[in-house]
């Protein structure tokens, strides 16, 4: 059975070669099973979590690499900081992945593709989010936080949210199903 470090390395390789618009965690698991020639159903949750972690690392990787490089330059002057040890093969794959990455977008965030791609927001949505451009998943995440923070869940049916004056221009309706919010938000992503 493969260790977590081995799984992480293989998943990273699969994601580097994959189209992030069409890849799913299930497809990654199937490729892993093929490469390792073993059944991984008992590690489904672990693999799904690793896929999400690696995607987040890839998205935020450019800013982390910059911080790591500045830490290395400061090591000569300051005492060494404790760091988690990486296997040399992982270091090599990280370096290769860094070379393939696109340049960082404004704010040090990677300009991804598909779901992680930075999109320009409509003026209405930008007012609510507080930023001119965000990735789709970040908008949804922040919208959920706003609904919870401002207690906008419909008390009669918690599957729905009730728009306040701030959200009404974005959604265009007074009440919407929270799991279907993307159908209203998609027109606010400009490109």
Cα 171 off chain centre by: 24
**Six-digit token string for 140:** 């949804």
pLDDT reported for residue 35: 84
Per-residue pLDDT, 68: 52
Name the residue ranges covered by the structural domains of the chain.
Answer: 4-76+88-103, 117-190
Query: What's the CA gap between 170 and 123, in Å, rounded?
Result: 9
The pLDDT of residue 6: 82
In this structure, are residues 174 and 163 in contact, taking their beta carbons and an 8 Å threshold?
A: yes
pLDDT score, position 79: 47
The radius of gyration computed from the CA coordinates of the chain, to the nearest angstrom, equals: 20
pLDDT averaged over the chain? 76
Q: Please state, in angstroms and rounded to a whole number, the distance separating the CA atoms of residues 169 and 128.
A: 10
Class of domain 117-190: mainly alpha
Low-confidence ranges of the chain (pLDDT < 70): 1, 61-112
Rounded to whole angstroms, how far apart are CA atoms 46 and 53? 10
Tens digits of per-residue pLDDT, 84-101?
444 444 444 444 544 444
């Amino acid at each position: 059975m493969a260790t977590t470090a081995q799984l992480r390395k293989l998943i990273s390789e699969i994601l580097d070669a994959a189209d992030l618009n069409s890849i799913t965690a299930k497809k990654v698991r199937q490729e892993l099973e093929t490469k390792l020639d073993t059944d991984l159903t008992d590690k489904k949750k672990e693999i799904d979590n690793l896929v999400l972690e690696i995607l987040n690392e890839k998205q935020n990787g450019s800013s982390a690499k910059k911080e790591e490089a500045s830490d290395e330059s400061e090591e000569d002057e300051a005492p060494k900081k404790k760091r988690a040890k990486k296997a040399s093969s992982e270091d090599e794959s990280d370096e290769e992945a860094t070379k393939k990455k696109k340049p960082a977008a404004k704010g040090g965030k990677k300009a991804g593709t598909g779901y992680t791609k930075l999109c320009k927001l409509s003026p209405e949505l930008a007012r609510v989010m507080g930023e001119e451009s965000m990735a789709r998943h970040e908008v949804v995440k922040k919208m959920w936080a706003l609904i919870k923070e401002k207690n906008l869940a419909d008390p009669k049916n918690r599957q729905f949210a009730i728009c306040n004056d701030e959200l009404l221009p974005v959604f265009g309706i007074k009440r919407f199903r929270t799991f279907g919010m993307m159908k209203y938000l998609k027109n606010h992503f400009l490109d």
